[in-house]
Amino acid sequence: MEILQDLALLFRYLLAGTGVTLAVSAIAISLGFAFGVTLAIMRVYGGCFLSRFALIYSTAVRAIPVVVIIFLLYFVIASAVDLSPFLSGALALGFSSAAYQSEVFRGAFQSVSGGQMLAARALGMGRMQAIRFVILPQAIRLAIPPWSNEAAIVLKDSSLVYILGVPEILRRAEYVSAVTLQPFLAFGAAAIIYFILTFLTNRGLDWLERHYRILT
């Protein structure tokens, strides 16, 4: 009986990590989204300098493992600002995701046919207006499937902030494993929780995709 009580306690401790995991993921995905869309716009519609900057950022960041980015950002920021591991990890994840999301949105922008921009300009819209009212709404819908994929990846990559000691699911699983001497159960439970999270996220995003699909 005692064992079961302990186990329940530990499992609840593990489960509490879900909040941290989701928080890190949410911050990373949002930052990635905001920055990613911006980069995509810079890349597709920007002038020479902006476009090239976006290209370099996207190519360079996508060539580096996320763990390296997390470490780099942590050590760089640690020397300048006093940021919590939680925030450094989330931000690092965000900047990394921004590079991948920029590719997603770049593809989406380029998929919206050129005729749409022509028609918008013909109506007298300025470039920014056309992007905002005609291109962007369509591009975002086209982007949902690959974006959902990216969101799921960020959720899974959030486990990497473990290396900064952030008390998310994996870090807690390690603690549970050390305390109970049951590594398989501890990490297995962590895997199951992640699986459920990923599953629910995918379901939710599938619904989003179906709901907002553009019928061509």
What character string, x for contact with another protein (CB under 8 A) and - otherwise, covers 91-120?
---------x--------------------
CA-CA distance, 201 to 140, in Å (whole number)?
18
Binding mask 190-209 for another protein (x = CB under 8 A): xx--xx--xx----------
Distances (CA, A) of 193 to 57, 87, 103, 196: 33, 22, 29, 5
Amino acid at the residue 91: L
Regarding 69 and contact with another protein (CB under 8 A), the answer is yes
Per-residue DSSP letter, 91? H
Closest CA to 161 of 82, 96, 205: 96
Site stretch for another protein (CB under 8 A), options 32-40, 45-53, 133-141, 162-170: 162-170
**Residue 67 interacting with another protein (CB under 8 A):** yes
How does DSSP classify residue 213? P
41 binds another protein (CB under 8 A): no
- The reply on whether position 35 binds another protein by CB under 8 A is no
Q: Does 11 bind another protein (CB under 8 A)?
A: no
Q: In the complex, what is the shortest distance from the CB of residue 124 to another protein, in angstroms, rounded to a whole number?
A: 35
On whether the CB atoms of residues 45 and 127 are closer than 8 A, the answer is yes
Main-chain dihedrals φ then ψ at residue 181, nearest 5 degrees: 55, 35
Residue closest to 33 by CA, chosen among 114, 94, 106: 94
The one segment of 11-19, 22-30, 31-39, 143-151 that binds another protein by CB under 8 A: 143-151
User: Which parts of this chain interact with another protein (CB under 8 A)?
Assistant: 60, 62-69, 71-72, 75-76, 79, 100, 145-146, 149, 153, 156-160, 162-163, 170, 173-174, 177, 181-188, 190-191, 194-195, 198-199
